[in-house]
Amino acid sequence: MTIANDLMEEVTARLKAASGLSTYPLPANVRRDHRVPVTLQKSPAIHIVDGDEEIVARRKNDCDVDVRLLFTVVIYVRNDEGFAYADPVKAEVMERLKCEGQSPVYPHSALIEPGRIRLDHEPADNDAVRAEMEFWFLFSRDKWTL
């Protein structure tokens, strides 16, 4: 397995964790890299989309590198309340992924940072709302290791 896969599996596990630990239960429909339309019956849904991995710095010895791994958590909601219905889901995603003081630590001592949030809305029989929450991990590795 790769470091990127280990980190994305951890994100998936955190978002699928028992809702009794949180203030807002996340939908049971949490999937990684699932590219199928979300129907009214499957809503709300959360899809975790792997992103690019890029080297952002090289260490003095040129053997180790710092890597940024981008990913997106996409929330799909079909409800007449629209954005108001999606807000508690967004808040819970942030709560589950954050690492206050970096504890509990993510695998490979990776640090996580939130990015921008993009919202999209489409009027329908029940309004369709899509929220894309960008995140990235920062970690160090041997430059020849995945």
Domain-wise residue ranges, the chain: 3-142
Query: Could you report the per-residue pLDDT of 111-146, keeping only the tens digit for each?
Result: 999 999 999 887 766 678 889 999 999 999 888 887
Question: Order of strands across the sheet with 128-142?
Answer: 30-32, 45-58, 64-78, 128-142, 111-122
- Residue 64 phi, psi (nearest 5): -115, 150
49 pLDDT exceeds 60?
Answer: yes
Beta strands in the chain (DSSP E): 30-32, 45-58, 64-78, 111-122, 128-142
Task: Please state which CATH number belongs to domain 3-142.
Answer: 3.30.2000.10
Distance CA 129, CA 140 (A): 36
Instruction: Identify the pLDDT of residue 142.
Output: 85
> Residue 91's closest CA among 50, 133, 129?
133
